[in-house]
Amino acid sequence: MSTAGAALRDVLSRLPSRLVRSFGRPVALFFHGVEQRIDDARVQSNHHDADAFAQIAKFLGGNFDVLPFGRIGEVLRRPESNRRAVFLMCDDGYANNLRAAEILQSYNLPWTLFVSTRHIDTAERSPVFIARLFFLFAPKERYDIPHLGTIVLSAAEREAIAEREGMRLKELDATRANEAVAAMQAALPALPQLLERFRSDSCLTWDQVRELKSRGVEIGAHAHLHWAMHGRQSVDYLREQATLSRARIAAEVGPCRAFAYPFGNTGDVCREAWHAVRDAGFEYGFTTLSGSLDASTNPFLMPRYGLRPHEKRLPSLIPSLRLGNRRIAAWQRQMAD
């Protein structure tokens, strides 16, 4: 969304909900993890505090029509008749999604879980998480990191360094990114203790994914390796991320209909990526661009809004998401065949 569009959405989100209710259209919302307590927000930035998440769930259940994923086709055919429809989704596949499941079940809310299958297979943490631990906790020193160059870690400005270098890392192709993260991992002697301390980013097992499936959770793919599917990746890599993740879920859990792109913003998804998702047999692909679902003319580039740790103005914010539709439509035209 443009700066002007974001400002307008912020203004609308502050209005009484009754004034923007009729403006609403069906939307997809997503979160990542739910922790009983957030110990270090710098590291656990992907996670909601359980009490705050319960408040979000209670509000959604009481004010919107939170629908199972199987109804998305019906809603898209008649969006004007489904102004209060919400599809709730979760990315990555953290073990603490079991806590989220308990909260959502208590409010009878259906949801979809997108898992990165390599991390379920191996229990490896996300490479971006390992990198963040390095930037925040590695000893004060000068490091030569492959494909990123010299990085100086001092006592100060660790968060700023983590944000800046994390963005540079994300722009690399998967092979170079893995080499860079491997060097960071080797230079972080306290990594085992940090992984134990921050178990919030540990992954579900396949048995746990199957348990969630048995409780009615839709299981979708979040690629095989949690890394961006941008234009610097090879076509073979992009195809593998779509086909392998779908095959692993089909083998372990059952049919897999939907895909969510890791990171999922405009710089993280290329034309060849959505082609790979389409050709792998998925019915839908989801980005992290905010908008309402009726904005999408391409079912493989659908919008979603990421729920922040503390959402204060959901009654007005959710209807105002359609203000991002113009940006989505323009981007989809650029990404067209």
pLDDT of 316: 82
**136, 278: one domain:** no
pLDDT of 117: 98
Query: Counting Cβ atoms within 10 Å, is residue 149 exposed (0-12), middle (13-18) or buried (19+)?
Result: exposed
**301, 240: one domain:** yes
- Residue 24, C-beta contacts closer than 8 angstroms, at least 6 positions apart: 83, 84, 292, 318, 319, 322
**116, 253: one domain:** yes
At position 135, the amino acid (one-letter code) is: F
pTM, full prediction? 0.94
**213, 307: one domain:** yes
* Rounded distance between C-alpha atoms, residue 298 and residue 214, angstroms: 31
* Rounded distance between C-alpha atoms, residue 319 and residue 337, angstroms: 31
Q: Are 13 and 316 in contact (CB under 8 A)?
A: yes
pLDDT in tens, the chain (337 residues): 445 445 655 665 666 656 556 678 999 999 999 999 999 999 999 999 999 999 999 999 999 999 999 999 999 999 999 999 999 999 999 999 999 999 999 999 999 999 999 999 999 999 999 999 999 999 999 999 999 999 999 988 999 999 999 999 999 999 999 999 999 999 999 999 999 999 999 999 999 999 999 999 999 999 999 999 999 999 999 999 999 999 999 999 999 999 999 999 999 999 999 999 999 999 999 999 999 999 878 999 999 999 988 887 888 889 889 989 999 999 999 999 7
How far, CA to CA in Å, does 35 sit from each of 21, 103, 107? 32, 12, 18
Domain that holds residue 133: 127-197
pLDDT of 326: 92
Q: Per DSSP, which regions of 254-319 are E strands?
A: 258-260, 284-286, 305-306
**226, 322: one domain:** yes
**106, 229: one domain:** yes
Q: β-strands 65-66, 85-92: how paired?
A: parallel
**112, 41: one domain:** yes
**96, 216: one domain:** yes
**152, 175: one domain:** yes
